[in-house]
Amino acid sequence: MTGISSLWEFLSRDAAFFGGPESPMLSWIGSFGIVLFFLWHIIRLRMDVSGAQRPFNRVRQMLIALADERGDVDRERFTNHALVGFAPPADQATSAPTRIDCDDLQAVETAMQKEPMFRQPWAQFRKTLILEHVPWFVEPRIFSTRRAEEIFTQDTLLSHRVNLAFYSQLPSLVTGIGLLLTFLALFIGLSKLHADGHDIAGIQGLINGLAGKFLTSIVGLIAANLFTLIEKPMVFQLMNEHHSFLSLIDKLFPRKTMEQMLEQLTPMHRAHGGARQTSGGGLMERIGGTGTDSLSAPIAELTEAVRSLTKLKQGEQATVQRTAAELPRVIREEFTAPMRELNDSIHELTASLKDMHRDRTQTTATLEDLIDRLTDRLAEQRTSSGLSRTEGRRFWPKRSLVSSQRPTA
């Protein structure tokens, strides 16, 4: 409690510095704190804005150079010199395009990949780019289906580098801190008042230091106004850099609109209308020249597409015919060796079967010879043992029956 009382007494004690009015120490300390807070945020704002401007400055020179070299190529390609669907006349030299969009895209791609701030938004913007389909004698253009401001937004590029929302509210914060310290000083002065009987003690100290108690409010208002005067031009310069970057990106990769596509389908050189064929005279005379000119480009592109499709179909048919012609030869070459081996195997199997049949025949003949010998031996034994002729006659028919049942060779 003693420490708190001492601190309270120190903060409520009136003092004068630099010849200023007497104010409580709380007001002087708060004023110095407001000044330091103001200076610190001014330095921090300056560093953040400078860090955010460096990537814009590094890529701006390259983008300006590409845009200056391009010149009026966009206007000429989309208006006066649109030759989509027509070949240039022989006696008229066509001016070659001074810029190639693919080269510009590669240069911008390299520059964007080097800057961490642009790397992620550029990857998204890269997906919106489309390549124009034009005849072979016209250099294709690269267009974007979305504007650059839809991808390279302030939140995407600057939110993680400069806290613009905080700096816009900083003057109000400084003013509020000054007013808070002023009310605390008045509170300290009013806390010294107390009734002493019929008299009020401490009124003299409140009136003597009353002017100094508004010191923090004055310092806070001055700091808030100065910060606004410094912050707004710096933020405006940063926003100007951002808008300049967006305009250069849109100039290098313009958005493909419906009006531009319709204008591309309508040829601007009416001199080609006199070279129309006069076949089907009655019908073509009833159709205006404007309609013919407007339909020539899509008809030419359709004809080219049909020719390409016909060539593709002819190539496929030729491939099929070539395959059908080569198929018998390939089959014959591939199956000659296996068929030869199969034939040899069949011949070997036939020869083996013939040999087996021959061996079986020989075996059968040998077996029959053995049976005949055995039968004769039995007949001789019975004859020698004194059997009658009748029994001998009964035996022989059995032999004949057995012989007749044997398979013939």
Domain membership of residue 250 as a residue range = 6-87+94-265
Does the pLDDT at position 38 exceed 80?
yes
In a domain, 366, yes or no: no
The verdict on residue 200 lying in a domain is yes
Q: Is residue 337 part of a domain?
A: no
Asked whether residue 213 is domain-assigned, the answer is yes
* Of the ranges 38-52, 338-352, 393-407, the best mean pLDDT one: 38-52
Q: 86 or 23: which carries more pLDDT confidence? A: 23
In a domain, 149, yes or no: yes
- Specify the long-range contacts of residues 151-160, CB closer than 8 Å, at least 24 apart: 151/121, 151/124, 151/125, 152/118, 152/121, 152/125, 152/242, 152/245, 152/246, 152/249, 154/239, 154/242, 156/120, 156/121, 157/52, 157/117, 157/118, 157/121, 157/242, 158/52, 158/238, 158/242
> What's the CA gap between 355 and 371, in Å, rounded?
24
Look at the chain and report how many structural domains it folds into.
1
pLDDT tier for residue 240 given thresholds of 50, 70 and 90: very high
Those residues with Cβ within 8 angstroms of residue 170's Cβ, 6 or more apart along the chain or in another chain:
41, 224, 227, 231
Q: Give yes or no for a contact between 164 and 158, defined as CB atoms under 8 angstroms apart.
A: yes
Average pLDDT, the chain: 75
Identify the pLDDT of residue 376: 87
pLDDT tens, 122-151? 988 988 887 777 666 667 778 888 888 888
Give the residue from 266, 320, 325, 259 showing the smallest Cα distance to 291.
266
Q: Could you tell me if residue 125 is inside a domain? A: yes
Tokens of 77: 């390609």
pLDDT tens, residue by residue, 165-174 = 899 999 999 9
Confirm whether 72 is domain-assigned: yes
On the question of pLDDT at 364 being above 80, the answer is: yes
Task: Give me the DSSP letters along 206-232.
Answer: HHHTTTGGGHHHHHHHHHHHHHHHHHH
CB proximity list for 382: less than 8 A, separation 6 or greater: 391, 392, 395
* Reported confidence tier of residue 278, pLDDT bands at 50, 70, 90: very low
Q: Do the domain assignments include residue 295?
A: no
State the pLDDT confidence band at 295, using cuts at 50, 70 and 90: low
Q: What is the pLDDT of residue 197?
A: 61
**Tens of pLDDT along 204-213?**
656 655 666 7
In this structure, are residues 157 and 117 in contact, taking their beta carbons and an 8 Å threshold? yes
pTM of the shown model: 0.52
